[in-house]
Chains A and B, each alone.
Chain A
Amino acid sequence: MSRSDWIRLRNGLLFISPWILGFVVLNLYPLLSSFAYSFTDYSVLSDPVYVGTDNYERLLKDGLFWQSLYNTFFFAAFSIPASLAVSLIFAVLLNFELPGRSIFRTIYFLPSLLPLVCLGVLWQWLLNGDIGLINAALDPFFDTFNRIFGTSVRPPNWLADPAFTKPALILTTVWTAGNAVVIFLAGLQDVPRSLYEAAEIDGANFFQKLLHVTLPMISPVIYFNGIMALIGSFQVFALPFIITGGSDGPGRSLMFTATYIYRRAFEYWDMGYACAIGLVLFLFVLVLTLLAHFISQRYTYYQGE
């Protein structure tokens, strides 16, 4: 390397030094020591004791861990597509150049500004089975249904019935999809007008244009929003914690892996085991992200490449 190469290298490293320090202290060291702790029995109060693969063996037999993993996968599998679909639909609607669109955009965005604790408390109230607003809105429909069919079905008791807690949480999550709406809208506005013109000359209707022009052109944005939602949903913690009032929900139906790690670590001071669970969670996120990456290589289209 020439002298100026060295100077640039030195300057570059100096400028990124805060990040290097952060990477070592807040990412690399924790990952490595999490790996090390996962082979120990560690309660923070006393030094870690090496126990071999005990934690991992315990994990295989731990029903609560598997339940938390099932809950996490269930939540991810439904909340990600639901959020993507809802945010894409509203972004497409906003992309029509109609008066008032910026007001609509602002309104759609508002829920994603709400602090998670407020969000949780608010939806705990909205979803209240007896006097909640959502069931009040559903009640007339159920009444009509019951009158016609002579049945007596009632709206679900969302947060008290294990069959409905996860749908309730997914609904709450979808409500905060405004962030993705804004990102989608920016992507939509980058699609060249000429492509739509060409499609229209070929006689394409709205849905054909959507399917064959819009979706391929914004596929990188779909990928980006999907990855962000994936990473977010595998660490979902605060919202279920608050919406259940600090419990795990009926039948532990809202106990997610992040919740379980938190409880093992900070309620039972079972740090070694918590680290083992964390690493398994990380493995899943890693595999899924790589999978999404390879799928996206096949299906995303990058303009100008």
Chain B
Amino acid sequence: MSFVRPLTLWQKAIIYTLLLLGVAAFLTPFLWMVSTALKPLRETMSFPPKWIPSEWQWGNFHRAMIEMGPFWRYLGNTLIICFLSVAGTVMSSALAAYGFARIRWRGRDTVFLIVLATMMIPFPVIMVPIYTLFRELSWTGTFRPLWVPCFLAGAFNVFLLRQFFMTIPQELSEAARIDGCSEWGIFWRVVLPLSRPALLVVALFQFMFSWNDFLGPLIYLTDQQDYTLALGLQSFQSKSGGTSWNLLMAASTLIAVPVIVLFFFTQKSFVEGIATTGSKG
């Protein structure tokens, strides 16, 4: 709440105490993950737990990579899927969002309600027919079921980009139209260049989604050589049966760090993008 009256010292102290309690709650598990990742196995078992390892086991990261299976292959697979998914998502949802935000056609708002309604369909409900469809196409066991659908404009991203496209002044389109620009030309030369921040947000969200996705790879990928990092970590977890916690935490850290680093570099657009999702449309 933006308060008009200045806060007293006491009020400030209470607010900071609560905020710091939040920091402790949200940050401690991360620190514990890294701390465990750097311990010798014996020390993960000590109770009460120790925060600082007696000797820093940097080698755990390397060992975790070996134990997980072909780590670099997992990374390559994940990056291929992420890259194709991001490309498809950005292109297809920008097109669709333009059609919903910048062209006034009959029935548009009704169709857009359908877009919003599709967000309500839980994936488990349609999972079986989609699986059998990809099976008919002999796509199971390949990456295709994981990235081809991204070229078909998902509702969430269309919604997000539409919100942004609508904020671009209509006069710019009109001016271009008077200069003889086609609808495609307006999309490509006027709206897209002005929308780089929003496109970046959609790209980031999709990257994170594909990097983190578990159910998709679990259903479609059969050969361990094709696993993504997320699936590789899960298979390592079930193989180790919850014993080598230091290596499991090292592997988790390795998979989490790229996402967190990416977030720190793009924090501003990221946070703005998330804030936009909640604004009314």
Q: A residues near B, CB below 8 A?
A: 1, 5, 8-9, 11-19, 21-23, 25-27, 29-31, 33-34, 37, 44, 89-90, 92-98, 104-111, 113-118, 121-126, 128, 130-131, 133, 136, 139, 175, 178-179, 182-189, 191, 193, 196-197, 200, 206, 209-210, 213-214, 220-221, 224-225, 231, 234-235, 237-238, 241-242, 245-246, 257-258, 261-262, 265-266, 271, 274-275, 278-279, 281-282, 285-286, 289, 302
Contacts and interface: CB of A to CB of B under 8 A. Distances in A.
Contact of B153 (A22, A89, A242): A22
Interface string B79-111: 000000000000111011011100111111001
B1 A196 contact: yes
B245 interface: yes
B169 interface: no
Contacts of B49: 131, 133, 136
A193 B2 CA distance: 7
A210 B1 contact: yes
15 contacts: A11-B183, A15-B187, A16-B111, A18-B91, A34-B128, A96-B7, A104-B22, A105-B271, A118-B256, A121-B233, A121-B251, A131-B49, A200-B5, A271-B132, A278-B122
Residue from the set B3, B115, B127, B231 with the largest chain A CB neighbour count within 10 Å? B127
Given A9-B106, A124-B237, A178-B26, 10 more contacts: A19-B153, A33-B129, A34-B126, A187-B279, A200-B5, A225-B278, A231-B119, A231-B122, A261-B127, A302-B280
A265 B238 CA distance: 21
B2 A95 contact: yes
Contacts of A9: 105-107
Interface in B26-54: 26-30, 32-33, 36, 44-49
Nearest to A275: B128
B9 interface: no
Given A1-B106, A125-B248, A278-B125, A116 B214 contact: yes
B202 interface: no
A31 to B, nearest CB: 6
Contacts of B95: 15-18
Interface stretch (B10-18, B55-63, B193-201): B10-18
A242 B153 CA distance: 29
Contacts of A278: 122, 124-128
Given A108-B22, A231-B122, A234-B122, A274 B128 contact: yes
Interface residues of B, number: 105
Nearest to B5: A200
Contact of A258 (B104, B119, B122, B234): B122
B4 A193 contact: yes
B113 interface: no
Given A26-B130, A113-B263, A131-B45, A235 B123 contact: yes
A122 B234 CA distance: 12
Contacts of A285: 120, 122
Contact of A109 (B131, B237, B271): B271
Contacts of B212: 115-117
A183 B106 contact: no
A19 B152 contact: yes
B277 interface: yes
Which secondary structure dominates chain B's binding surface? helix
Contact of A15 (B98, B104, B231, B248): B98
Given A22-B153, A108-B26, A175-B29, A131 B124 contact: no
A13 B252 contact: no
Contact of B108 (A12, A184, A193, A234): A12
B274 interface: yes
Contacts of B29: 111, 122-123, 126, 133, 175
Contacts of A89: 18
B203 to A, nearest CB: 16
Nearest to A124: B242
A117 B130 contact: no
Nearest to B99: A15
B274 A93 contact: no
B1 A92 contact: yes
Contacts of A17: 95-96
Contact of A246 (B123, B238, B275): B238
Contacts of B130: 26, 30
Q: Which of the listed residues A131, A178, A206, A286 has the most CB atoms from chain B within 10 Å of its own CB? A: A131
A271 B278 CA distance: 36
B48 A11 contact: no
A98 B16 contact: yes
A113 B259 CA distance: 7
A34 B132 CA distance: 11
A136 B48 contact: yes
Nearest to A178: B26
B114 interface: yes
A191 B124 contact: no
